[in-house]
C-alpha cells in the first residue's frame, strides 16, 4: 500500500483535531453513511493510487496511462480535504484496502498490455460507480456540513472521471 496518503492524513489530522477542540462548534452526530462515505472515499483513493502505479508500467494504451496519472493527481488533491473531515469528526480510517479491492490490485499485477488495460478500466469503472453511489447516499443523509460540502465538491469530479473511463473502455 502506498503510505504517502496515510502519512499525510495522519500528519495533517493531528493539528486539525487539536484545533477542532479549541472554540470550534460541537461536532454533528455522524450516521453510518458518513462513516461509509469517508471509508469508501479513502479506499477508492488508495485503489486509484495502487492501480494507477501499475498502469504507468503495464498499460499499453496511452489513454489508460494518462487517465491513471490523472486519477492519482486527483486523489492527491482530495486526500487533504478528506483529512479535514476525518480530523474534525473523529472517524478512524482503514489502514488497508478492503479484501475485494486488494484482490483487484492482485489480479492486475501479473497483467500487461491490452489485457491490463481492459481489467484496469473495468476495476476503475466499478470503483467510480460505487463512489458515485456512496457520495449520493451521503448527500441524502448527512447532517454534517463538512461532509456535505466534501460530497458536493467530490461528486462532479468522480462523475467526470467515470464518464472518461467509460469512454476509453468503449473504444478498446
pLDDT reading at 12 higher than 60: no
In whole angstroms, what is the distance from residue 95 CA to residue 125 CA? 23
pLDDT exceeds cutoff 80 at 166 = yes
Top pLDDT among 24 and 78 is at 78
Q: What is the mean pLDDT of residues 103-110?
A: 96
Contacts by residues 143-146 (CB-CB < 8 Å, ≥ 24 positions apart): 143/28, 143/29, 143/31, 144/27, 144/28, 144/30, 144/34, 144/85, 144/89, 145/28, 146/84, 146/85, 146/88, 146/89
Tell whether the model's pLDDT for residue 47 goes beyond 50: yes
Digit-coded pLDDT (tens) for 67-81:
999 999 998 888 888
pTM above 0.85, yes or no: no
Q: Which CATH number among 1.10.287.3510, 3.40.50.300, 1.20.1260.10, 1.10.4080.10 corresponds to the domain 4-170?
A: 1.20.1260.10
pLDDT surpasses 80 at 22: no
Contact 56/146 with Cβ under 8 angstroms? Answer: no
Domain limits, the chain: 4-170
Amino acid at each position: 500500500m502506498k503510505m504517502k496518503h496515510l502519512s499525510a492524513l495522519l500528519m495533517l489530522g493531528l493539528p486539525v483535531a487539536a484545533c477542532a477542540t479549541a472554540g470550534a462548534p460541537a461536532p454533528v452526530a455522524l450516521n453510518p453513511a458518513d462513516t461509509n462515505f469517508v471509508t469508501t472515499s479513502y479506499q477508492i483513493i488508495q485503489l486509484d493510487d495502487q492501480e494507477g502505479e501499475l498502469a504507468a508500467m503495464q498499460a499499453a494504451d496511452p489513454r489508460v496511462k494518462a487517465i491513471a496519472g490523472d486519477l492519482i493527481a486527483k486523489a492527491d488533491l482530495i486526500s487533504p480535504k478528506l483529512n479535514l473531515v476525518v480530523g474534525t469528526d473523529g472517524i478512524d480510517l482503514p489502514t488497508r484496502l478492503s479484501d475485494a479491492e486488494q484482490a483487484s490490485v492482485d489480479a492486475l499485477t501479473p497483467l500487461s498490455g491490452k489485457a491490463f488495460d481492459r481489467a484496469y478500466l473495468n476495476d476503475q469503472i466499478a470503483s467510480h460507480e460505487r463512489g458515485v453511489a456512496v457520495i449520493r447516499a451521503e448527500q441524502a443523509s448527512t447532517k454534517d456540513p463538512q461532509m456535505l460540502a466534501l460530497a458536493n465538491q467530490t461528486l462532479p469530479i468522480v462523475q467526470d472521471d467515470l464518464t472518461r473511463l467509460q469512454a476509453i473502455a468503449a473504444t478498446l
